[in-house]
Amino acid sequence: MSSTDVGVGVSGKGTARGSDSVLSVRDLSKTFPGQRALADFSMEIHAGEIHALVGHNGCGKSTLIKLITGFHTPDPGATAEFLGESVDLYDAGAPWRDHVHAIHQDLGLIPSMSVIDNIALEHGYLSRAGKISWKAERKRVEKLLRDFDSHVDPRELVDDLSRRDQAIVAIVRAVSGMSDDSSGLLILDEPTATLPEREVQVLFDAVRTAARRGCAVLFVSHRLADVLTICDRVTVLRDGNKVAERSVSGLTRDQLTELIVGNRSASAPNHSGSRFDRRQGNPVLKVQDIATEQLSPLSLTVRAGEIVGIAGLDGSGREDVTRVLSGITNPTGGTVSVGGESLRLGSIKHSLDAGIAMVPRERFPEGLVSSMTISENVTLPSMGDVVKRGRLSRRLEVDEADRWIESMDIRPRQPNKSVVELSGGNAQKVVMAKWMRTRPRVVLLEEPTAGVDVGAKRSIWSMLDGATRDGAAIVATSSDWEELAANCDRVLVLADGVVQAELHGQELTTDSIARNSMGQSLEKREDSNE
């Protein structure tokens, strides 16, 4: 589709207050040196509306958010209205921006401070005769949280809260900072990217509450199921251009995928269904009784050619498995061997030497060196073949990076581009390329496709599939259960540090992962209700 496809009507999932315009932007563009990230973008978003912004990696979503919040200055010629008044998009400190709050994946909270203090950062403390009135402050924050159905103790440190509760505190803080009638714009940037399904529903309730109170919500996500569940309208960006704006009502997942992907290659195979019938080779990774504070002794054998998923809610211990195997976390007990040779635990170097590659959850600073280019990052872990006569050859380095840029469809196709200038999903592809290049025996992945678009997800799983054909053993932790069910041979489901189930074949479904992840907590709740 080349022209913008604009449907009509607001379906009303979040709509409480009709169609009062909160923000309207016209002719918004942003050009970076050598690249137009956003072109002549226009949209209008209304009070009570939850409006999705979707598109492939690098299509301009974060750029748009940064233009609205004043982090970037638009190219000349853009105009905007906020709550019906003409406003200045070129003044980062303009007062209308006090009513615009963006919550990014890192949430922007200060973990070492209490919930009260974090919320007070937005609008100050209640004071009496020049002194902070802690009792009144606590009551006020309790009430704010209750309005969002949260019973978190306002005195708790943010660091001690679950990821879900932290997300709700961030939403409460944003909404509490708006005007009394909550007329403002709340921007959620990939809010559910690493949240397990059950927690997502709780977050959705908070978002709906914000919309009911009159906020306009701009919801940026790669999880199409989330968009179809919670949003009223959706705007689709492709290569910096708006290609569609539609009501979500009646839109199918396939139609939405088509709008996002357009004529970009969707040729990578989609591994739907279990791979369990694949013949597997010899055991590569043997884990015997590894334990941490969160993880009860866990044993696991992964064969050459096998993809094993680890699922579980936050706090289930799922990430301790990959953290121990990569040498980041020292276990309290247990043994591990790779290819029959015993691994010295608690040492990243020994894990690397044993052929274990780790694709971590955080792209920066764990996954990539931010001061380096794409080609420098890609070749960093294994430089032997880019060295000529004892010296690093920039040409070989760039040629090597070019091959990976091509096969992973990394955009822009510029090996000398700094990785900090890449969009989140493209940065993730660089991390993948960097490790797959080393032809690892064991690949560990944490949230491999968080923040990655629908086409790139396919190329990542396709690349992993290719690695298994070369004999690699793969262990992936993810909160995206649908993806685990579709791409793994087996999934171990953890709850409270204990393996609840090992699912494969017909038993390996999103539902069974969900049931087993929540099993214990549901039983506990039922017991306490009796």
Ligand X SMILES: Nc1ncnc2c1ncn2[C@@H]1O[C@H](COP(=O)(O)OP(=O)(O)OP(=O)(O)O)[C@@H](O)[C@H]1O
Query: How many residues contact ligand X, by CB under 6 A?
Result: 20
Smallest gap, in angstroms, from Cβ of residue 61 to ligand X?
4
Instruction: Choose, by CB under 6 A, the member of 35, 79, 249, 301 that binds ligand X.
Output: 35
Residue span binding ligand X (CB under 6 A) among the ranges 31-39, 77-85, 90-98, 464-472: 31-39
495 scored as a contact of ligand X (CB under 6 A) = no
Smallest gap, in angstroms, from Cβ of residue 221 to ligand X?
10
Residue among 60 and 455 whose Cβ is closer to ligand X: 60
455 scored as a contact of ligand X (CB under 6 A) = no
- Report how far residue 46's alpha carbon sits from residue 83's, in angstroms, rounded to the nearest whole number: 9
Residue among 140 and 429 whose Cβ is closer to ligand X: 429
Smallest gap, in angstroms, from Cβ of residue 70 to ligand X?
15
DSSP 241-292: EEEEEEESTT--HHHHHHHHHTTS---S----S--TTS---SEEEEEEEEE-
305 scored as a contact of ligand X (CB under 6 A) = no
b (16+ CB within 10 A) / e for 62-83: bbbbbbbebebebbeebebbbb
CB–CB of 29/8 below 8 Å?
Answer: no
Residues 6+ apart with CB under 8 A from 385: 396, 400
Residue among 36 and 198 whose Cβ is closer to ligand X: 36
Residue among 58 and 184 whose Cβ is closer to ligand X: 58
460 scored as a contact of ligand X (CB under 6 A) = no
Residue among 57 and 176 whose Cβ is closer to ligand X: 57
Sign of the C-alpha dihedral, residues 119, 123, 124, 126? negative
Residue among 126 and 372 whose Cβ is closer to ligand X: 372
377 scored as a contact of ligand X (CB under 6 A) = no
- Report how far residue 17's alpha carbon sits from residue 10's, in angstroms, rounded to the nearest whole number: 11
Residue among 58 and 331 whose Cβ is closer to ligand X: 58
SS (HEC) of 67-88? HHHCCCCCCCCCEEEECCEEEC
Residue among 360 and 451 whose Cβ is closer to ligand X: 451
Length of the chain: 530
In 3-state terms, what secondary structure has residue 409? coil
Residue among 332 and 370 whose Cβ is closer to ligand X: 370
Smallest gap, in angstroms, from Cβ of residue 238 to ligand X?
10
Smallest gap, in angstroms, from Cβ of residue 207 to ligand X?
19
CB–CB of 248/232 below 8 Å?
Answer: yes
71 scored as a contact of ligand X (CB under 6 A) = no
Smallest gap, in angstroms, from Cβ of residue 314 to ligand X?
22
37 scored as a contact of ligand X (CB under 6 A) = yes
- What are the contacts of 503-506 at 24+ separation with CB within 8 A? 504/274, 504/276, 505/274, 505/276, 506/274
Residue among 32 and 134 whose Cβ is closer to ligand X: 32
Report the site for ligand X in 408-427 (rule: CB under 6 A): 411-412, 421-426
- Report how far residue 513's alpha carbon sits from residue 486's, in angstroms, rounded to the nearest whole number: 12
Residues 6+ apart with CB under 8 A from 526: none
Report the site for ligand X in 38-67 (rule: CB under 6 A): 55, 57-63
Smallest gap, in angstroms, from Cβ of residue 242 to ligand X?
12
Smallest gap, in angstroms, from Cβ of residue 421 to ligand X?
4
Smallest gap, in angstroms, from Cβ of residue 424 to ligand X?
3
- Report how far residue 452's alpha carbon sits from residue 455's, in angstroms, rounded to the nearest whole number: 8
Residue whose tokens read 């980041």: 328
361 scored as a contact of ligand X (CB under 6 A) = no
Token pair for residue 283?
């055991």
* Interface residues toward ligand X, by CB under 6 A: 32, 35, 37, 55, 57-63, 411-412, 421-426, 451
